[in-house]
Structure 1
């Protein structure tokens, strides 16, 4: 399926066939909307690709993209693919500690960012060949701070030299996304061009997209959901995507109705915010994918929904519902074509209907599963068993009819809004302070965000009197905002389970849900 195909090949199909079809409609919060046809877009990415080549970016080099949703992000991502570089797309909520690690671990040679992040990126990667900076923050004009050595992004767009042709290689490296793992540092998930081609085709098939579909995109493009499910799915069919800087409940319907959007990928947080508003008199949506089937959306808006499950490592959905047979409320579907799944008890036995167990998935590495964790052989060895099964870390319930549902995260993973958060990463920061003997981060149920991090601690003699405030300040200084603990609970000792392990379930169960 992937032989002779890569991302430049896929884009070229539509540039040649439908050059005047809108590829992307940019809906900034400030200023007028901007439309880029397939022909317009191709010209811009060719210029940026040529500029990257002229400035020494070679085949396989890693280029950091630290940008909010914007035309510049999309152009840069495709320009990296065109020149044969690897786009390292990083979470724009990351702090300096994260950024230094991302830049060093990926071994980036260049970076592209926006004014609000220019100082952060410059200080985190001081030895790169160049830093290119846009003149706006996701559409909002801004000046670049003084004292930073950079190239204006406009200079890349103005490049007139041609970009040299390169051989099509489906298995060449394409992109890196950092995903929270069960250790204190995120893992770098490496995709090939074949991964992206697979994701584009499967996403379009799962959503039954056509060239007439208009995809609304507001989830962050540095994540798999928007990057693969939305952007690549739309590209596969030669469709149009409407891109916003981020989710805005107050702007959602205005943008959707003006552009006749027909589908979008959401997260439950977005749906809850929209359901709090009066429904619009009319819209063009055929369906939404809010991760689970939500009959309340169908009742409020007449929009069909069905569920799915996927992760950065699976490129697309390994479990997916069906628009005609969506299953019961909160169902995520059944195994998707191209994958095998097993749901096992701790002792390895397969679960029966009505039980829950740990989800394992199997596909083809470098095609339907990620190629590897970049520069992390230990994690690669642990991730797959001898038969090629990948342990997802998700505990999945199955009902009596074989339908699958979201369960829990194994190994202390929290789901904070759309973000996966490793409890161990937060714990490592707190333990470094010397103020606590032990600490345990758990998720507290939250009406909008699913859960938020809370830490239980036993203090040392060196702990300050205002320990709670100091721990929260420490987290704010060293972690992205969604990882900052919402509360600090001081204990004399922890409840224990077998082998004297901290009984996190007992801690979790002691916390009341945060209601609206």
Structure 2
């Protein structure tokens, strides 16, 4: 007989437990750039979550209903996400920089019946989805302002939410023209907290500085859910800021933070104070103690929205090869396979596959897309990550490359097909190809090559306007080139490798 997963635990249980056993322990500190800090104890956080959940129920939100969050990093995001998931609703995490077109798609695709949005995006959310049951606004006043909802007297709440019930959805860029909705269950959320705590060695005394976007897996899973589970504290910044990073770190005695490579590059020339309390950082690759981190080691890891936490992670006590991602985590199965599906020998490169349990250690499904969900897995249950890795002689894994149609712009995945869709919306465009150009700060940036139809007049201004209307800023091409022809490979496909080589050569010369 299989024992049910967490039959007596859900996100709400975790919040209430800490409020009971450590009510006065500090849990969330908000560190804005232009206002004084604000702090929630475990009991205060639980009270506000319960108040918001009660307000949601009073406005018609029921278990299973999707509630969209269109918020920058702010305590209201964490309160709304936790309130929705703890009452059995589904938190739909959307990029607050999304265009109206992107919002319209995601709100409609997810079936969101309500939304919580920052004041500067509320009108756009209302335009994108005018039939929302209600729209709660962060940073405003009025009956449906988040601040007003938090004044609600909490009721006793509902029943325990089933472990396999959907809890959270993130839209992830990839090799399709529209992002896919990755569904996490209640069990996924608890898994993220428990495994993230183990991989970072977190405990009640730790202070996790969170500056990466909360609508991404890194911020939500690795930092927030890990701290929610471990009993430690989260210090939340509005966004990453190289000029403020060390001041906030020292003032709040941060012991751990998660960074992307962009952060390391941005901090390279910053003076590091002697008084910091860090014991470690997490990033995409292992690094020995270095001046940029204040002399603490960086633990490498590999994860994606579909894996919830880290299937590959570096050692906390026994450091792994610098530059590697670490080793297969004990909570997952990991394989590096050659083109024939056989495990590679040490020193060789292959496709990175991960196996776990759907709805627990791996995502449940792609929302409303059973075909894409099926394609994501091999017949014997391995998740095809789309990344390639090298198995080193010492057993560590090094990242080699991702699917070429997914760019990494300042740490954010950007799908080339999404950009190409915006370019093809311009009248007169016959074909569009988007590839990455090396960038010293962001890693790479998108560049578009556009082929007009014979006799059509297509301007760069028209193409850039379409991208501005349809795409989040990070996805917009940094350069648009109108060309008379595109290089071709077999089956008349665009030879994007030649375009990448062209841009790499120009960057090297420039």
Correspondence for 2:400 among 401, 407, 428: 407
Deviation track 1:420-456 (CA, whole Å, cap 9, x = no partner) reads 1111111122122133322211111111111110112
Is 2:118 aligned against 1:114? Answer: yes
Is 2:411 aligned against 1:418? Answer: yes
Deviation at 1:31, TM superposition (A): 1.3
Correspondence for 1:53 among 51, 57, 60: 57
Deviation at 1:84, TM superposition (A): 1.1
Give 3-state SS (helix, strand or coil) of 1:421's partner: strand
Deviation track 1:84-139 (CA, whole Å, cap 9, x = no partner) reads 11000101111011100111010011111111001111111111111111225xxx
Deviation at 1:514, TM superposition (A): 4.9
Question: Is the contact made by 2:50 and 2:157 (CA closer than 8 Å) also made in structure 1?
Answer: no
Correspondence for 1:476 among 465, 468, 471: 468
Correspondence for 1:370 among 363, 376, 394: 363
Deviates more, 1:456-465 or 1:342-351: 456-465
Deviates more, 1:88-97 or 1:402-411: 402-411
Correspondence for 1:236 among 216, 219, 229: 229
Residue of structure 2 equivalent to 1:486:
478
Deviation at 1:155, TM superposition (A): 2.3
Question: Is the contact made by 2:425 and 2:466 (CA closer than 8 Å) also made in structure 1?
Answer: no
Distance 1:77 1:237 in 2: 18
Question: Is the contact made by 2:288 and 2:296 (CA closer than 8 Å) also made in structure 1?
Answer: no
Question: Is the contact made by 1:24 and 1:241 (CA closer than 8 Å) also made in structure 2?
Answer: yes
Residue of structure 1 equivalent to 2:332:
339
Distance 2:161 2:292 in 1: 47
Give 3-state SS (helix, strand or coil) of 2:220's partner: helix
Deviation at 1:300, TM superposition (A): 5.8
Deviates more, 1:493-502 or 1:389-398: 493-502
Distance 2:157 2:223 in 1: 29
Deviation at 1:399, TM superposition (A): 2.4
Correspondence for 1:509 among 498, 501, 505: 501
TM-aligned CA distance change 1:352 to 1:170, over 3 Å = same
Correspondence for 1:433 among 426, 432, 436: 426
Deviation track 1:143-171 (CA, whole Å, cap 9, x = no partner) reads 89xxxxx7222221111251433134222
Distance 1:8 1:462 in 2: 61
Distance 1:176 1:431 in 2: 28
Question: Is the contact made by 1:204 and 1:237 (CA closer than 8 Å) also made in structure 2?
Answer: yes
Correspondence for 2:182 among 165, 182, 189: 189
Distance 1:159 1:324 in 2: 46
TM-aligned CA distance change 1:168 to 1:425, over 3 Å = closer
Question: Is the contact made by 2:335 and 2:352 (CA closer than 8 Å) also made in structure 1?
Answer: yes
Correspondence for 1:292 among 267, 285, 294: 285
Residue of structure 2 equivalent to 1:302:
295
Residue of structure 1 equivalent to 2:83:
79
Correspondence for 2:255 among 255, 262, 276: 262
Distance 2:306 2:63 in 1: 23
TM-aligned CA distance change 1:447 to 1:303, over 3 Å = same
TM-score, length of structure 1 as denominator length: 0.94
